A and B are shown apart, each in its own frame.
Chain A
């Protein structure tokens, strides 16, 4: 196997929990909350990794940490063998690592035309565009929009069309990796398919590495190669899509997958309904973060943090994982 394009080792991201005098008075440990608490991860060239989890699990924080939008409090990130934790030249790196933001219309400047928007990355990165009109048109066509859209403004686009402009912008500089934050959020099901097909097509055409952040479990099977499940700033389980979805080993993954309502009134549901909600980061449970809600929790779960243990292609962090034949 070739070297992974992206390597994370024990990445920690902290946010200040208190401000001003209160922070000075508080014990050192209480001044910060860990939004990411020791994330280790390898992403192979050309694969699509989906990061799933509920609000507050740290999915978006992870993307922002990889892209250098948040400082690391600890750990290492390597992208193409460049150490991202040692003040790299972000300008050069972001040319290789594009971001697709969550809000399709909000991430586009309302005063710029679509033509200017797709050419903007070239200007930011100081790259000469010999034939701007042709380039803009080609990028739009790759994203499935025709030349009529060149002179439109973002408010004249539908959600799906704005999403396509976002795709065109992300791909304009021919990056090696794309970070897509909730690519289907706010889209109707009838449009969702188009965008996912577009992303799948681009991936196979350009051999692009993609990290998709999503809470839409329905799309995982169709777009991702591997899934990483996050809970409270930690990866609780990671592995190939089919294995994670059909035979989850972490009790949280099992509950998450079973919670997804299916559009079939006759479907039999063996649903695991969790009690309570994800705890706040300021009140992180001791031991395994999931133990207060876990149906399988044992005595040591409340004081011993489980390690992410690898078995074959997948890894799980649980003292009592669900066995394959259970």
Chain B
């Protein structure tokens, strides 16, 4: 069976005054049907650029310099606006980080739930019934009454539930979740994670889950892709990547998470240094300048090195590191 989402060699440049900023370089990614794939990385790693590219909603100064994005085999790069409009919201749906900004503040929840069904040839009553049913399904208390509520009348957790209901209402093939729990409190975060797991089982869609929170990724995802400065540097099943990180950056990132340490640490680890300048990315390994293991070999660009089975890392020393 073909993958739900298949990204190959994706390279995105932004035109800036300093020259082309190479925000994504040769990113490859597969999301098999029914799987939850996590993308983890820190600020500036290209997570947002990737989402924009997947939706083909790029800022004006962005260009896709190379690569392919296929949804169930259909090429999205260069597809007609008409075709893309048809797919967005139906085949690909997104849950954004901040539900207050993804919902329209001047329209009621019911109006917005109707509007996203604009393509369907159903009666208004039937559309409303489906909307209410879905709002109830995502755990919104009293869904009938909530149809007449405005977003500001709901709490943060309720708004995110509405955003999730809108995203899954059309039973998309691919659901992109962009840090959907970052704006929520810890006790709500676990409720939303459980909800996403259940919905994924019911609808059978594939989920691309983007987060900087290693704990959430570890808990929810089947596979994980680690990104750094516009490159995918490691990918594999969650357990493999977290227990046997094979790229030095992944290893350091996991080491830095204070949640991992159960006893008080006198000195917390950090990764010294800054992201490289992406208008002129350094030759060779992108992490070289901040890596303790770097040698002269790292001046040449590493190719993905298989660690075990489906687990690979872009590091010259990856093969030995996993052992």
Contact = CB atoms under 8 A, between A and B. Distances in A.
B309 interface: no
Contacts of B262: 221
Interface stretch (A96-104, A123-131, A259-267): A259-267
Given A188-B42, A263-B254, A193 B213 contact: no
Given A259-B189, A263-B218, A277 B270 contact: no
A82 interface: no
Contacts of A80: none
A262 B258 CA distance: 10
Interface in B161-208: 185-191, 193-194
Interface in A246-262: 255-256, 259-262
Contact of B256 (A55, A189, A241): A189
Interface string A220-256: 0110000000000000000001000000000000011
A259 B190 contact: yes
Contact of B215 (A191, A222, A262, A276): A262
B310 interface: no
Interface residues of B, number: 48
Tell me whether chain B's interface is mostly helix, strand or loop, or mixed. Answer: helix
* Range class of the A interface residue count: 35 or more
Given A189-B214, A265-B239, A54 B258 contact: no
Interface in B208-251: 212-219, 238-239, 242-243
B185 A274 contact: no
A217 B186 contact: yes
A92 to B, nearest CB: 35
Contacts of A264: 218, 242, 260
A261 B219 contact: yes
A322 interface: no
A197 B215 CA distance: 22
A190 B187 contact: no
Contacts of A112: none
A69 interface: no
B134 to A, nearest CB: 19
A30 interface: no
A216 to B, nearest CB: 8
A219 B187 contact: no
B43 A188 contact: yes
A190 B270 contact: yes
A260 B215 contact: yes
A255 to B, nearest CB: 6
Contacts of B217: 263
Contacts of A54: 185-188
Contacts of A222: 258, 261, 264-265, 268
Nearest to A188: B42
A255 B187 contact: yes
Nearest to B266: A200
Contacts of B263: 221
A218 B258 contact: yes
